Structure 1
Amino acid sequence: MTNTSFTELSNKIQTQEARAGVIGLGYVGLPLAITLANSGFRVTGFDVDPAKIVDLNAGKSYIEAVNDKALTRETAAGRFSSTDDFSELASCDVIVICVPTPLTKHRDPDLSYVEATSHSIAATLRPGQLIILESTTYPGTTDDIVKIILEKTGLKSGKDFFLGFSPEREDPGNRDFDTSSIPKIVAGDGAEASELMQAFYGKAVKTVVPVSSNATAEAVKLTENIFRAVNIALVNELKTLYAAMGIDIWEVIEAAKTKPFGYMPFYPGPGLGGHCIPIDPFYLTWKSREYELPTRFIELAGEINSAMPRYVVGKLAEALDIRMGKALSRSRVLIIGLAYKKNVPDIRESPSLRLMEIIHERGGTADYHDPYVGEIPSTREYMALKGRRSVDLTKEEVTSYDAVLISTDHDSVDYASLAAWSPLIVDTRNIFTKRGLMADHIIKS
């Protein structure tokens, strides 16, 4: 028997008459919405933040991956609009969920945003819609949570509406890949949903990679991030050991990566940042309890990476004591870089925030300079830092601090001047060695 809902929706997607709705216009949702619009779909963006809607409708982007010109082009062409009125979901044929999936204080998954969004979709759900979850989560979320909420309407997945999962793979600041060129993993609840997923993303993304189930697609995303988290933890642990032995971990890595097989370089740092790597592995750790199977590597990696900010501050305190004869509790420290990675304004889970907090806990004073982050916005965990502003990198300012701590190695920072002006520098990114700026007062950590 022909499924009319499937046939009609498939035809709409193939002809790009389908209207797409993207819920959550952040680092994932907005680039996706503009990519879909640029490919020819009409797209409505949804967000609960009215300020974002005002900016977007005025042609002002707040995300580096989407410039004002691209936003204005799609808006002027009538292919993109944004709203905080979720009743408009009823007019969307394809709805993509791109909302946060953070952790609770106890490192358990917080799916409240996914659940709330699913209820919003359910309020206007109709036959002939494709619902897609892109938010990173543990295997089973799409089928066991989103599907159940939607089916409480009386409509059935695979018959009336269709359900799929496609993990986001955004990499803020990456100049080599964008939303359209990063291969897209897709899966669906049943063969027809899978076919719709491939057709929909195939219109906007160069390479679509189908997998057998939503749970498999969810596991792919977690595996990618766990791989990075575990390997970064390994080099962070090696860093502390080699430092005790008087061995430079950076020199070791540079030499090791000359091997043309069997080795992939990962680099240490002051801690993990971004939404994915510090958070996603714990989604699988939580899910593993259901199967009574331990995730020792994941949990150990989390412990090591979470301990790095305190280790770095310890090295800072040691350097201040030995080289400056001054306790951290009486010192002023300038942290370079608030963003979690270089050349982006993204401060999600940034270790720099934790570094500032630890320095303050130990009685010191910590300020920051970041060319991409002029002021610390409201954050859930670091409300005490809200409103702190970036310090200008002038000779007068830099020389007023007892030490400079390199947390994020933005390319636009004048490291030569820092080396000349600061009496003590603790470098967690090896940026001074990379630029040939070696000196006795520059300490690697």
Structure 2
Amino acid sequence: MPADLAVLGLAHSGLPLAQAATASGIGTIGYDPDASTIAEIAAGRPPGDAPLTAAEVRRMLARGFRAFSDPAVLGRVRTAVICTPTALGADRALDLAPVLTAARTLAAHLRPRTIVILESSVYPGSTEDVVRAALEEGSGLRAGRDFHLACSPTRLDPGNRRHDYTNTPKVIGGLTPACTEAAAAFYGRLTDKVVRARGPREAETAKLLETNYRQINIALMNEMAVFCHDLGIDLWDVVRCAETKPFGFQSFRPGPGVGGPGVPVDPNYLPYHSRSLGYPLRMVELAQEVNARMPRYVSQRAAALLNEHGKSARGARVLLLGVTYKPDLPSQEGAPAREVATRLKELGAQLSYHDPYVPQWRVAGHPVPRADSLYEAAAAADLTLLLQNHRTYDLQGLAAKAQLLLDTRGASPTGAAHRL
């Protein structure tokens, strides 16, 4: 049946977009080539790490949402949004293959006057150089003349109870002014405010700036955490004081590493891009280096804390609390917990874990035992290591039960635990 919207890619950003559109009364279908993803949604369950609950998926289905693995459905929509995930490869370049594949799939079914929008995180220029080229080549249509093309990077913050699709402004940059207005009219049905960029490159680069800003500031806080620990300074009290400044300061928090789909990107790491500037974004490189060091630092702090209390890391029973990348969500994408666990295992520690959102967990191909009784496990462990602060954790109670508690999130009451 015809639909107003098709969402290509039903992962961490695509499914929430489909949810918002369905809730707004927009006839929405989803497309994903992964048959298991489609089967999970049809059964009323969120696929993989999608940040929705089963109840939310069932509500979408009740409102008419359907997901397909047959791309033929893409020829019956007015608007198509590409939400396929991108990630950094081993060469530190963004892997745009999923975006290119989605664009080619859509091109085979593209009709005139369709609005095509790219939400995936990409390099500046990708909407025109990658998506536009694939759509025009595969469809025989011309962007800006036969169909509208725009970029509107995702700004999803899973689990945020204050900012959702409705009250988070959407940045939109179209290939032409008419493309921008067509995309703005679509998003105007979902959000209270749209922000028009001069073009797709400006919209793409706004996302780049937002992501790198977060990563660089977290890296600064991670460096401050190491600095303050070495000098015997309470970092968390420093942050408490600094964030009272009403101007010129935005508070960030250190942690065991940085996870999630938002990765720091240097746009010069684009092998096929002939317009590379020939020099790196040094701040981004440094942020990557600093944040990538944190799992090792946390494992070293854990070993040192055990040693201070007369215990060796070898043979020590270590309980890891929270192995997801964000509190109160099941996604483990980029979460530092796995590297922390790997390093502790290399030191000879005996690991167990607890996470209310992760029923099974593997590290280096081997299952890690899950603690069924949290307080009993904390009492039995030589060290309890908080990596993610889920709301269900009573840190005051855990601190009272645990032999040693190392809090990497600064979430425990002052004096109740050793903090990063």
In the TM superposition, residue 274 of structure 1 has moved relative to its aligned partner by 0.8
Give the corresponding residue for 1:314.
Answer: 300
Give the corresponding residue for 2:125.
Answer: 140
Letter in 1 for 2:389: D
1:426 aligned counterpart, secondary structure: strand
Q: 1:129 to 1:59 in 2, by over 3 A?
A: same
In the TM superposition, residue 92 of structure 1 has moved relative to its aligned partner by 1.6
Q: What are structure 2's unaligned runs of at least 5 residues?
A: none
Asked if structure 2 preserves the Cα contact closer than 8 Å seen for 1:128 and 1:160, the reply is yes
Asked if structure 2 preserves the Cα contact closer than 8 Å seen for 1:345 and 1:372, the reply is yes
Give the corresponding residue for 2:269.
Answer: 286
Residue 209 of structure 1 pairs with residue 219 of structure 2: no
Residue 198 of structure 1 pairs with residue 184 of structure 2: yes
Residue 119 of structure 1 pairs with residue 99 of structure 2: no
Q: 1:184 to 1:100 in 2, by over 3 A?
A: same
Asked if structure 1 preserves the Cα contact closer than 8 Å seen for 2:31 and 2:71, the reply is yes
Structure-to-structure mapping, 1:223-372, within 5 angstroms: 223-276=209-262, 279=263, 281-287=264-270, 290-323=276-309, 325-372=310-357
Letter in 2 for 1:425: L
Give the corresponding residue for 2:418.
Answer: 443
1:408 aligned counterpart, secondary structure: coil
Count residues with an aligned counterpart.
414
Asked if structure 1 preserves the Cα contact closer than 8 Å seen for 2:3 and 2:28, the reply is no
Q: What are structure 1's unaligned runs of at least 5 residues?
A: 1-16
| Residue-by-residue CA offset, 1:291-329 (whole Å, 9 max, x unaligned) | 113311110011001101101111111111111x22212
Give the corresponding residue for 1:49.
Answer: 34
2: distance between equivalents of 1:64 and 1:52? 10
Give the corresponding residue for 1:89.
Answer: 74
| Residue-by-residue CA offset, 1:156-211 (whole Å, 9 max, x unaligned) | 11111221110101111101121222111111111111111111111121111110
Structure-to-structure mapping, 1:54-93, within 5 angstroms: 54-61=39-46, 66-78=52-64, 80-93=65-78
2:269 aligned counterpart, secondary structure: helix
Q: Which of 311-320 and 357-366 deviates more?
A: 357-366
| Residue-by-residue CA offset, 1:230-282 (whole Å, 9 max, x unaligned) | 11111111111111111111111101111111211111111101110xx2x22
Residue 376 of structure 1 pairs with residue 351 of structure 2: no
Give the corresponding residue for 1:8.
Answer: none
Q: RMSD in angstroms over aligned alpha carbons?
A: 2.0
Give the corresponding residue for 2:6.
Answer: 21
Q: 1:252 to 1:87 in 2, by over 3 A?
A: same
| Residue-by-residue CA offset, 1:393-423 (whole Å, 9 max, x unaligned) | 3443223321111111112113233222221
1: distance between equivalents of 2:351 and 2:123? 37
Asked if structure 1 preserves the Cα contact closer than 8 Å seen for 2:208 and 2:265, the reply is no
1:405 aligned counterpart, secondary structure: strand
Asked if structure 1 preserves the Cα contact closer than 8 Å seen for 2:115 and 2:148, the reply is yes
Q: 1:360 to 1:141 in 2, by over 3 A?
A: same
Give the corresponding residue for 1:417.
Answer: 397
Which TM-score applies when normalising by structure 1?
Answer: 0.88
Q: 1:146 to 1:389 in 2, by over 3 A?
A: farther
In the TM superposition, residue 363 of structure 1 has moved relative to its aligned partner by 2.2
In the TM superposition, residue 74 of structure 1 has moved relative to its aligned partner by 4.2
Asked if structure 2 preserves the Cα contact closer than 8 Å seen for 1:64 and 1:344, the reply is no
In the TM superposition, residue 18 of structure 1 has moved relative to its aligned partner by 5.9
Which TM-score applies when normalising by structure 2?
Answer: 0.93
2: distance between equivalents of 1:249 and 1:24? 41
Give the corresponding residue for 2:157.
Answer: 171
Letter in 1 for 2:10: L
Bigger proportion of residues as helix: 1
Asked if structure 2 preserves the Cα contact closer than 8 Å seen for 1:374 and 1:389, the reply is no
| Residue-by-residue CA offset, 1:125-163 (whole Å, 9 max, x unaligned) | 222212111001110011001111111132111111221
In the TM superposition, residue 339 of structure 1 has moved relative to its aligned partner by 1.0
Asked if structure 1 preserves the Cα contact closer than 8 Å seen for 2:153 and 2:204, the reply is yes
Residue 407 of structure 1 pairs with residue 387 of structure 2: yes
| Residue-by-residue CA offset, 1:360-380 (whole Å, 9 max, x unaligned) | 222222221111221237xxx
Asked if structure 2 preserves the Cα contact closer than 8 Å seen for 1:356 and 1:367, the reply is no
Letter in 2 for 1:117: A
Percent identity reads: 37
